[in-house]
């Protein structure tokens, strides 16, 4: 039996003994080493911060197994699985658990990338997909609204893609300092509702070619639209649970703004001539950019914690959403080997 994090009901978190499955045909059992908490997604579900008629409500049903970015080693393979062997180090889309049973491995993890960096691969592909959809051109001015872990990655990708300016907008000074180290050229310690004049000064009145809204907050949508230049592009990467509260503004018509919605489900699982950038291809590129030093997730402040602390971790993440960036769960932590009954359960 292995441990797994579980949301039995809204506001409740527990670490419990999960199944210890043997892989069937086409399946792979992966023994986890590390997984990354996707703070926005997981706290949105845990606190049920979404309207009942949204895709959030259809997906975030309780009891719920959170998490989707895990690295580990292949423990066993089922009949029909090719190209893998026990001991291989892999990245998989699976919940936070000690032993994950999956039907598909996203990518092999290069030997020189530590687990605590490799487990960022899923957020690395989600943001990479958004940057691809934005079609950033050499010399563009890019504004990134919201500097959580997704926003920090978008800043790096935009700089790597050849942006002339990367304007980072967030009222939290600590997040801005991180973004400035990682590619943001113009940090603005402002809420987005107060950022238009500063963006106008930086761009000489032209405004931004591309604006990313990575806040997940419905209230940010309208003021962020005001930062886009005429015929520019607005990328909605943060996914609010209350889309009915997002309202178009006159800028959409008068400036001819192109609004681009991005979601993790858009890239194909397998590359083809028509859609080369699959989840696997993007994860492999993410790893390569880490190796080249053009992406630096190690410099995004993170904590590596035992999954046994899960109730406290989620309580703090939900109570103080701006206090943390990366939280990595160490599935090889020695305290998981301690025999104990009744994993702790806490309300959030």
pLDDT for the residue numbered 1: 61
Residue at 240 is within a domain: yes
Burial zone of 169 (CB within 10 Å; 0-12 exposed, 13-18 middle, 19+ buried) = buried
Residue 101 lies in domain = 2-119+301-347
pLDDT(116) > 70: yes
Residue at 124 is within a domain: no
171 and 98 both lie in a single domain:
no
Token pair recorded at residue 346: 């806490």
Residue at 226 is within a domain: yes
Identify whether 98 is preceded by a cis peptide bond (ω within 30 of 0): no
Alpha-carbon distance of 61 to 175, in angstroms, equals 32
pLDDT for the residue numbered 339: 47
24 and 103 both lie in a single domain:
yes
DSSP codes of every residue in 167-227:
EEE-S-HHHHHHHHHTT-SEEE-S-GGG-HHHHHHHTTT--EEEEEE-S--GGGHHHHHTT
Neighbour-count burial for 5-29, b at 16+ CB within 10 Å, e otherwise? bbbeeebbbbbeebeeeebeeebbb
Query: Residues 133-162: pLDDT tens digits?
Result: 999 999 999 999 999 999 999 999 999 999
Task: Kindly report which listed range (67-71, 156-160, 309-313, 339-343) carries the lowest average pLDDT score.
Answer: 339-343
pLDDT for the residue numbered 323: 76
pLDDT for the residue numbered 21: 83
15 and 94 both lie in a single domain:
yes
Query: Residues 10-49: pLDDT tens digits?
Result: 999 999 987 778 999 999 999 999 999 999 999 999 999 9
Taking residues 233-254, report their average pLDDT: 94
Alpha-carbon distance of 338 to 124, in angstroms, equals 33
For the chain, percent of residues with pLDDT exceeding 90 = 89
């Amino acid at each position: 039996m292995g441990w797994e994090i579980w949301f039995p009901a809204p506001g409740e978190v527990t670490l419990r003994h999960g199944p210890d499955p043997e892989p069937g045909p086409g399946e792979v059992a992966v023994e986890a080493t590390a997984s990354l908490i996707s703070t926005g997604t997981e706290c949105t579900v845990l606190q049920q911060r979404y309207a009942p008629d949204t895709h959030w409500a259809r997906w975030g049903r309780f009891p719920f197994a959170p998490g989707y970015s895990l690295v580990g080693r292949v423990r066993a393979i089922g009949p029909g699985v090719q190209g893998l062997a026990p001991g291989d180090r892999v990245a998989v889309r699976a919940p936070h658990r000690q032993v994950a049973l999956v039907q598909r491995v996203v990518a092999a993890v290069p030997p020189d990338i530590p687990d605590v960096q490799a487990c960022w691969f899923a957020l690395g592909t989600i943001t990479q997909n958004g940057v691809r959809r934005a079609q950033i051109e050499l010399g563009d001015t890019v504004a990134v609204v919201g500097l959580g872990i997704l926003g920090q990655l978008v800043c790096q990708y935009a700089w790597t893609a050849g942006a002339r300016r990367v304007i980072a907008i967030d009222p939290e000074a600590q997040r801005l300092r991180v973004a400035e180290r990682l590619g943001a050229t113009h940090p603005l310690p402002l809420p987005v509702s107060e950022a238009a004049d500063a963006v106008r000064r930086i761009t000489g009145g032209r405004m931004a070619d591309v604006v990313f809204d990575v806040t997940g907050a419905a209230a940010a949508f309208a003021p962020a639209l005001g930062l886009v230049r005429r015929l520019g592009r607005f990328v909605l990467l943060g996914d609010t649970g209350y889309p009915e509260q997002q309202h178009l503004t006159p800028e959409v018509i008068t400036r001819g703004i192109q609004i681009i919605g991005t979601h993790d489900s858009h890239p194909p699982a397998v590359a083809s001539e028509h859609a080369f950038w699959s989840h696997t291809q993007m994860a492999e590129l993410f790893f390569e950019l880490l190796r080249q030093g053009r992406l630096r997730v190690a410099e995004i402040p993170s904590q590596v914690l035992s999954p046994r602390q899960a109730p406290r971790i989620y309580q703090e993440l939900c109570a103080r959403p701006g206090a943390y960036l990366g939280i990595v769960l160490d599935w090889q932590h020695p305290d998981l080997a301690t025999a104990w009954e009744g994993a702790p359960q806490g309300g959030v």
